[in-house]
A and B are shown apart, each in its own frame.
Chain A
Amino acid sequence: MNNNPTEAERALADLFEARKAGFAGTPLDAARESAFSRFAANGLPHRRVEAYKYTDLRARLRELPGAAGAPDAAKLAAVLADNPPLVEGAARIVIANGRYVPEHSSTMANVTVASLLDPAADTTRVGKLVAESDDPLTLANVGLFEGGVVINVTGEAGAPLEIVHVSLDDGLVMGRTAVIVAPEARVSVVERAIGTAGTVANDLTELTVGARAKASWIRIEAGVGDKTVQLGTLHTEIDEEGALEHLTVSTGAGLSRNQIFASIVGDEADAHFRAATVAIGKRHVDNTMVVRHDALNSRSSEVLRSAVGHGGTAIVQGRIIVDPGAQKTDARMMSNALFLDDSGEVVNKPELEIFADDVQCGHGATSGDIDEEMVFYLRARGIPQATARRLLVEAFLVEALDRVEDEALREGLADSLRAALDLEGAL
């Protein structure tokens, strides 16, 4: 335990002690104790921890709400009825207050779903991607998760899979998900959160993309209010000739951090990440990505678009690591941020750590006001200044959605970004 724990850190320690006796008796329990003690040794990360320099969780999470209990069935049914799937025909997996709810979940051919708390479930491959992690949010979840699912995709999934995290009671929730996409299999996942304003969520996802498998993953991260805390961590590994397309759409919570730790372990694999962020008012959105190449001829890209205004904050940290021997890597990152007005903060911290020579790696980062040349061009055609700026900001954000194939989904996501721009009359 760190010497001077905050109230929040003490509450987490108490929670772990309280839960200890009631662990489900699955093989995953073995990892809980050591993970939590590693978390507790340093506590919540603060600004002197390099990876959390710009998102000081110890300072921002002085107090935590109590852990959410089992979800109320009637409340849950009502919330789900109000929020139909974003993609028509999608199978749905519901994780409410951190717990898998099979009654509201469905599945399809080539996809099997099992509860992580079910002692009969095959969880042998769960936890592999996080075993070496020293990320505090990961460790906290591995120690404390209430429940979740392991999803095995064994062939081509016929329809998109929607994973819905529901938080009903302004509580602390830590759901956990593992998705294993078998070699040659295909799946497309939409992950979304529906929660109450006082929710503090710390989700953990492990995604294994097998050889020649293809996965697309869209994370929609939208807090209800300035008090919501959305912390989400994805660990993913992509094997030979596998491909991952990932998109995070974030319209901000009071505090949100989307972490991605990706490892390309097979030759000729692809991993591409996009993010569109709107951070307006008292919103703080942190996208932190670490992409590691440990194979030949692999490709990765990150494209991030952020718009901030009215004092909002957008943090982008993106590290590309090319391990010794990972020749012919092509890795690129570009982060662009627009200020909608004079206030707010944008931080870009792109990093390259290159230990192989025959590579093409690069990053770029820009921040600033909307390009006045473009505004003038539009105004010279009769478009009023405010409309011109709005049009340009929307286009800037929506470009990050260019790899979303489902047109209705893309439009829906674009709408949510537009709606976020309306917050506090930012534009």
Chain B
Amino acid sequence: MPAVQETIDRVAAIDVDKYKYGFVTDIESEKAPKGLNEEVIAFISAKKGEPQWMLDWRLEAYRRWLTLEEPDWSTVSYPKIDYNDLYYYAAPKVKDAPNSLDEVDPELLRTYEKLGIPLKEQEILAGVRKQGEPSELDEAGESNPYGRVAVDAVFDSVSVVTTFKDELAKAGVIFCSISEAIREHPELVKQYLGTVVPTSDNFFATLNSAVFTDGSFVYVPPGVRCPMELSTYFRINEQNTGQFERTLIIADKGSYVSYLEGCTAPQRDENQLHAAVVELIALDDAEIKYSTVQNWYPGDAEGKGGIYNFVTKRGDCRGKRSKISWTQVETGSAITWKYPSCILRGEESRGEFYSIAISNGHQQIDSGTKMIHLGKNTSSRIISKGIAAGQSLNTYRGLVRANPRAKNARNFTQCDSLLIGDKCAAVTIPYVESRTGTAQFEHEATTSKISDDQLFYCRARGIGEEEAVALIVNGFVRDVIQQLPMEFAVEAQKLIGVSLEGSVG
């Protein structure tokens, strides 16, 4: 596997303890007044040119949120967040909405370039890679099967640009920012928004419903196989700004879409809040593949700064034989609280969750999934690989449930944790609930450290300790990496190496 060598090289090349996406873009922005109240929500709604029904929906969520308590059941701990000390809206200043890339602030484009996001179409046609950098794929002698990726880029609170719109439109696929969808496709938004994650769902989701500023919207019509990968890059730039994006993806009957999500943020001493909601809906025979590489700023070596990542992601396999697959690589954020889930409602529907969660330094991760089996002959599969290093806390929390009507439900769960060093902790908390005798559930979990024998074997062959760890870890997470689209897999492997820097010795 050439990519492993790639990782090793990168681990060796890059400075320890440097978050390479930690730069700040100097760009003028427009903000809502600090704090949260009905006026701020009205301001956001007006900025987005939203219809009254959307504002009402937000306000209803806000009023409910005021009655809710912040949850405290997870293993993560953090100082109390002052929700009135945040900006809920920040947008790069532009005169009018850009019609083409040429109208986008070049400073912004440079930011995305630095992040390795190929916004310019000629770059996209050439495949995904950073400028001036050789493509790993070429080196490996393989051709890039995903030559073209349509990108929606979200900068702080707004979507700045969406590429390939025309070509997607030809296939009937709608891919745009959610703000645009609310204006241009209100019937679809009204029909589906909040049907998977209701406004009342949980503290952070309710907050998001009130204040969400942007995010992506995807609709794939019946029978259409989306002609390219869709991708959103999220970037938090402004100081003291919460990012509350909202993503809604609908795969109509017999359709297929693969969606990728990447996240970064500048290096700042203060904690920043990210509370997103993602809703997926798969109708009969439809399939949605959702991949995330989450690399928000994790805080510095002393645990200062970093993103609080409180995210609600849920997919509804509403149709028969529908399938939703979540794949995530979690390396960033100071705190992660995230459980991408599947509601298996349609008969014979299938849910999958593949996760790599790496915590180093003082990071805290509480992540996992829920597979709720409601329909007959539904199946699910969970593969979770947690790696804890430094003084981090890495928790897997999962729920698998078969309701009495979920005849012949099947689940397989494999949940492994790897500890690197004796100051970190791995916690595994699965709930496995079966209410029908016809359901077959199988759960397995292990916790161990990197085997001394494996390490010694590598070192006896001349591989340095840190490189050997990266090598072994890459083997440990292979089952999940394989689920990622090609260019994300390469990026993920690089990230794993970088995330574990300084974890040995």
User: What is A's interface to B at a CB cutoff of 8 Å?
Assistant: 50, 308-309, 324-325, 327, 337, 339-369
CB-CB under 8 A for A366 and B442, given A341-B437, A349-B432: yes
- B429 contact set on A, CB distance < 8 A: 349, 351
Cα distance A350–B437 in the bound complex, in angstroms:
20
Assess whether A342 is in contact with B436, with CB atoms less than 8 Å apart. Answer: yes
Q: How many residues of B contact A (CB 8 A)?
A: 34
Could you say which of B432, B435, B438 contacts A369, with CB atoms under 8 Å apart?
B438
Residue contacts A-B, CB under 8 angstroms, 15 given: A339-B437, A343-B436, A343-B437, A351-B427, A352-B417, A352-B445, A352-B447, A354-B417, A357-B420, A358-B449, A361-B446, A361-B447, A361-B448, A364-B442, A367-B432
B222 within 8 A of A: no
Give 10 closest A-B pairs by Cβ, nearest first: A339-B437, A368-B440, A357-B419, A352-B428, A362-B446, A348-B432, A357-B449, A342-B437, A365-B443, A361-B447
B434 within 8 A of A: yes
Closest CB-CB distance, B258 to chain A, in whole Å? 32
Q: Is the interface of B mostly helix, strand, loop or mixed?
A: strand
- A347 contact set on B, CB distance < 8 A: 431-434
Cα distance A351–B438 in the bound complex, in angstroms:
25
CB-CB under 8 A for A349 and B425, given A363-B445, A364-B443, A366-B441: no
- B439 contact set on A, CB distance < 8 A: 367-368
Closest to B422 in A: A357
- Excluding A327-B422, A347-B434, 8 further A-B contacts by CB distance (< 8 Å) are A344-B435, A354-B447, A357-B421, A357-B449, A358-B449, A359-B419, A359-B447, A366-B440
- A339 contact set on B, CB distance < 8 A: 434, 436-438
- A50 contact set on B, CB distance < 8 A: 73
- A368 contact set on B, CB distance < 8 A: 434, 437, 439-442
Closest to B441 in A: A367
Cα distance A406–B449 in the bound complex, in angstroms:
39
B210 within 8 A of A: no
B26 within 8 A of A: no
Could you say which of A308, A324, A340, A350 contacts B443, with CB atoms under 8 Å apart?
A350
Cα distance A355–B432 in the bound complex, in angstroms:
24
- B446 contact set on A, CB distance < 8 A: 360-362
Assess whether B427 is in contact with A354, with CB atoms less than 8 Å apart. Answer: yes
B426 within 8 A of A: yes
- A325 contact set on B, CB distance < 8 A: 422
Closest CB-CB distance, A165 to chain B, in whole Å? 32
The 8 A CB mask of B439-464 against A (1 = contact, 0 = none) is 11111111111000000000000000
B424 within 8 A of A: yes
Cα distance A105–B418 in the bound complex, in angstroms:
52
- B433 contact set on A, CB distance < 8 A: 345-347
Closest CB-CB distance, B276 to chain A, in whole Å? 27
Could you say which of B417, B422, B431, B445 contacts A356, with CB atoms under 8 Å apart?
B422
Cα distance A80–B417 in the bound complex, in angstroms:
52
Interface centre among B407, B427, B436, by most chain A C-beta atoms within 10 angstroms, is: B436
CB-CB under 8 A for A366 and B73, given A339-B437, A357-B419: no
Cα distance A91–B173 in the bound complex, in angstroms:
80
Cα distance A79–B440 in the bound complex, in angstroms:
44
Closest to B435 in A: A345
Cα distance A364–B414 in the bound complex, in angstroms:
9
Closest to A355 in B: B425
